[in-house]
Amino acid sequence: MPALKVSGLTFSYGPRPLIQDLSFELRPGNFMCVLGPNGSGKSTLLKLLTGFLKGAGGSVRLGGQEVSGIEQGKLARLAAYVASETSTPYDFSVRETVLLGRTARAGFWRGYSPEDGDAAELAMEETGIARFAGRSINTLSTGERQLVFIAQALAQEARLLLLDEPTSHLDLKYKSEIMALLARLAGRGLAVAAVLHEPALARLGCDRALLFSGGGAYSFGTVADTLAAEKLAAAYGVPPDSPLLPK
Amino acid sequence: MERNKFLIFPAVLAAACLFSLAAGPAGWSDYDIILNLRLPRTLAALAVGAGLGLAGALFQGVLKNPLSDPYILGTSSGATAAAVFCFLSGIERTSPVFFAAVFAGAFGATFLSYWLARLAGRLSDAALVLAGVAVSAFLSALVMLTLTSAGARSFSLFYFVLGGLYSVQPAVLIISSVIIAVSGGVAMARWRALDAMALGSENAYHLGINPDRERILFFTLACAATSAAVAIGGTIGFVGLMTPHIVRRITGPSARALVPAAALGGAAMLAAADAAGRSFFSPSEIPAGVVMALAGAPFFMWLLWKTSRGKN
């Protein structure tokens, strides 16, 4: 059974459709990048996949179930989502923030179980942030904080991981580190979908690509097919020989 | 060791109670005054302070906004306006109708501020404060208009609006205390949802929380606590703003410890403020609301400065 199956998805903010008749599916182990020009619907797509944005036509199925009919707590156990930036004025520690990933599993009335603690520790080990578990998330660099929210998503133990621009604002070291981490997670059987800004990053482990080219048009397939230089050039509106495109 | 630092809350609370029981020209000498005048007044200050501290912690968490509190959001003004309306229409202060009306006033004003702030698109901290100030100012003007035209009865009501703990009916105190305790209990049980909301509604949604539902729940709890506090002591500002900021330095930001600590801290703060108001300026007596504004307004300015600096 696919972790995610999208069929005939259509959505618009105004009269013109942003996403039109979009269909694709992700299986456990798939690592998909979502590319396309600004405003072409990449971030909107992720929010439609989790039901955070409502009002789309067509169907989104998570683990075989229509997303609109999934109860909130179960939704968080099926799909985890990492926003491009999460900020708070309050000094939550890294551990507290990651533990909140257990919200849907811990129930409201109890404290955290040892099992919740173990899941959080494991997620912090996996993302390499265990060494600042006690620090406030507001004292971390942008890249470190991004890793904290990825760890929070991992602590949810969902089978589908969605990330909105996980590498924007980050330097090359963090970019490659985060892409390697996501590829490793896909290798362990998670289905991963990440909105990216640079086509070159897709080479770091993605096996599927979804390319939006504006006005609802898209192509979906393997990285080699979908992200060929001429297709990227057309989607982004740059010359095919642009040095910005991957060779 | 970690747990020992929380002992500071009962200690501060006990000190504030002693201060409140001892403050006044008669000192410790007159047992009658302590038991019949100061004790009920201390209990009233504790209940009002706990309600406002609790409401402040809930608003600051659920709105992810460190500048919010029942005074600034217009919650207190809404409750006060409803209370004044009830007094003038002859509704008994102990009747369920009175408490329902005061709650409705609080909830209506809060949602109006929230809705106005949302009109600007993305909810920003500054927009929420501005909307709250506008709603408060309008409701205060309505109250003043009503009081001016009410004639003879308006003098005692004027003191109610200023925020004072002069003559508290035991029945009102008991009903309000129960409302505040129940609101606090429910909020404490849902501490994790409040923490998730403090990371923003988008994050909360994806952690398995329904942000719209939690917002209404925590608004309801905060408005219930605020309206119960207003029913006792009128408009008293800044307790809800200051207390969570102060106790957060000891408890950290998680609602699990913050919510009960804010209630205890608010109780201690208002008991001390009320005692200061009736002893430092003796023989005249300053309403607790005025004492809190004298201390709280500079605190708010400092907070504004700190918040704006943090963003640049």
The total domain count for chain B is 1
Q: Which residue of B has its CA nearest to A103?
A: B207
Closest among B21, B106, B200 to A88, alpha carbons compared: B200
* pLDDT given at position B31: 81
- Tell me the mean pLDDT in the region B217-242: 96
The most distant pair of C-alpha atoms in chain A lies apart, rounded to whole Å, by 59
Substitution target in B206, B214, B259 with the highest count of A β-carbons within 10 Å is B206
Cβ of A103 within 8 Å of Cβ of B203? The answer is: no
Look up the domain containing B98 and give its range.
3-311
* pLDDT given at position B86: 93
Query: Is residue B65 a contact partner of residue B250, using CB atoms and an 8 Å limit?
Result: no
Residue A70 structure tokens: 């999934």
| Residue A203 reports pLDDT greater than 80 | yes
Collect all residues of chain A within an 8 Å Cβ-Cβ radius of residue B210.
Answer: 72
How does DSSP classify residue B24?
S
Sign for the CA dihedral angle at A146, B207, A31, A118 comes to: positive
Strand segments, DSSP code E, in A42-127 are 57-62, 65-66, 79-82
Query: What are the extents of the domains in chain A?
Result: 4-236
pLDDT-derived band at B3, boundaries 50, 70, 90 = low
ipTM of the complex: 0.94
- Our CA angle for B271, B277, B283, nearest 5°, is 135
Predicted confidence (pLDDT) per residue in A143-172, tens digit: 999 999 999 999 999 999 999 999 988 889
Cβ of B65 within 8 Å of Cβ of A89? The answer is: yes
Between A and B, how many CB-CB pairs are < 8 A?
A: 80
CA distance B305 to A214: 43
CA distance B282 to A80: 61
* pLDDT given at position B205: 96
Q: Is A80 on the interface with B (CB under 8 A)?
A: yes
- Tell me the mean pLDDT in the region A61-66: 94
The yes or no reply on domain A4-236 and CATH 3.30.470.20 is no
* pLDDT given at position B312: 40
What CATH number is associated with residue B27? 1.10.3470.10
Closest among A131, A147, A142 to A97, alpha carbons compared: A147
Predicted confidence (pLDDT) per residue in B165-203, tens digit: 877 889 999 999 999 999 999 999 999 999 999 999 999
Least confident of A23-27, A40-44, B236-240, B299-303: B299-303
- Tell me the mean pLDDT in the region A49-74: 92
| Residue B1 reports pLDDT greater than 50 | no
Scanning A6-45 for CB atoms below 8 A from B yields none
- Tell me the mean pLDDT in the region B136-165: 83
The pTM for the full model equals: 0.94
Predicted confidence (pLDDT) per residue in A210-238, tens digit: 999 988 899 999 999 999 989 999 999 99
* pLDDT given at position A111: 83
- Tell me the mean pLDDT in the region A76-96: 95
Cβ of B209 within 8 Å of Cβ of A109? The answer is: no
From A109's Cα to the closest Cα of chain B, the distance in A is: 5
| Residue B311 reports pLDDT greater than 70 | no
- Tell me the mean pLDDT in the region B30-57: 92
| Residue A109 reports pLDDT greater than 70 | no
Predicted confidence (pLDDT) per residue in B78-87, tens digit: 999 999 999 8
Q: Which residue of A has its CA nearest to B213?
A: A72
The packing angle between helices B39-62 and B191-198, to 10°, is: 50
Cβ of A72 within 8 Å of Cβ of B209? The answer is: yes
